Amino acid sequence: MKTIVKILKEHFEYRKQIVKLAKADLIKTYRGSALGWAWAIIKPAVTIFVYWFAFAIGLRASSTVNGYHFFLWLIAGVVPWFYMSDMIVMGTSCIRKYSYLVTKMKFPVSTIPTFVSMSNMFVNIILIIVVIGIFGIFGYKPDIYMLQIPFYLILSFIFFTLWSLFASFIGAISKDFINLIKSFVTALFWLSGILWDADKITIPWLRRFLNLNPVTFLVNGFRNCFINKIWFWEQPKRLMYFIIITIILLILGIWSYKKLRKEIADVL
């Protein structure tokens, strides 16, 4: 509890600096390129086009999913994944990226994962707004189920900020851990039901196991807002599993912070 209080205290005392650093991180990402902020849209758009072409044209997947065009079903799940994948990788290496905050000035290291997550979440929100606009162009106006979107955005932010709190300290100590996580992201992408529907797995135990995946839960959550029209309380077991995994991640994050915080400066 003392560690949790310390982390919360650091976040409260440095709340203004966290927001400023989140803005700075966002600006730094797109600074120096001719198109600037447009890359926040262009890069995901190219990736989505490739997936759509491969599955809808190349593999001739079904043109509709639950009555929606395959393209709409695709972007409803892939767009939230961009934030998740960025945080899995960047969250692991964020302390190394901002090592000067640890070695050259007195700055609470626990806040680094938070402002990096805030920076990436801002881009994610913009992309989600674009998705809502695309659905509107296809004739699907915003409905009451989309009120859940902020709920899933908050869950995503909390989970992957905690992930960063845990992984960034280990990543600061070991580059091998960072490389391991980078290699794991591709496997996680294909196993998380982002390009296919995990609920259509016919083997019951395998379907339940896959739905324990937090990424699968969040991706399905966003698709429930746009496609399936399901409220989060209609799937209480999945929400409960997600909360349990999040609590475990919180414990691991506190352990990582408490165990490695004093060694970070020397290693970096």
Residues contacting 231, CB < 8 A, separation 6+ = 145, 148, 224
Q: What is the pLDDT of residues 59-114, one digit of tens each?
A: 555 677 777 888 888 889 899 999 999 999 998 998 888 888 877 777 788 889 99
Q: CA torsion sign, 226 to 227 to 230 to 232?
A: negative
Question: The tokens of 154 are what?
Answer: 């908050």
For residue 39, the model assigns a pLDDT of: 67
100 against 219, higher pLDDT: 219
Contact 152, 236 (CB under 8 A): no
137 against 61, higher pLDDT: 137
Nearest to 151 by CA among 53, 103, 80, 88: 80
In angstroms, the CA 135 to CA 138 distance is 5
Residues contacting 43, CB < 8 A, separation 6+ = none
Q: Is the pLDDT of residue 191 over 90?
A: no
For residue 32, the model assigns a pLDDT of: 59
Q: CA torsion sign, 69 to 70 to 76 to 82?
A: negative
Q: What is the pLDDT of residues 160-180, one digit of tens each?
A: 999 999 999 999 888 889 999
SS3 224: helix
Name 68's bridge partners.
65
Q: Is the pLDDT of residue 250 over 60?
A: yes
In angstroms, the CA 243 to CA 235 distance is 13
* Domain residue extents for the chain: 2-267
Which of 30-34, 121-125, 136-140 has the highest average model confidence (pLDDT)?
A: 121-125
Nearest to 116 by CA among 101, 100, 94, 92: 94
For every residue of 162-211, DSSP letters joined together read HHHHHHHHHHHH-HHHHHHHHHHHHHHHHHTTSSS-GGG-SSHHHHHHHT
For every residue of 11-79, DSSP letters joined together read HHHTHHHHHHHHHHHHHHHHTTSSSGGGHHHHHHHHHHHHHHIIIIIIS---SEETTEEHHHHHHHHHH
For residue 144, the model assigns a pLDDT of: 94
Q: Is the pLDDT of residue 213 over 70?
A: yes
For residue 151, the model assigns a pLDDT of: 96
Q: Is the pLDDT of residue 233 over 70?
A: yes
Task: Provide mean pLDDT across the span 243-250.
Answer: 95
Q: Is the pLDDT of residue 262 over 80?
A: no
Q: What is the pLDDT of residues 20-74, one digit of tens each?
A: 888 887 777 766 555 566 666 777 778 787 877 777 666 555 677 777 888 888 8
R_g of the chain computed on alpha carbons:
19
Contact 25, 124 (CB under 8 A): no
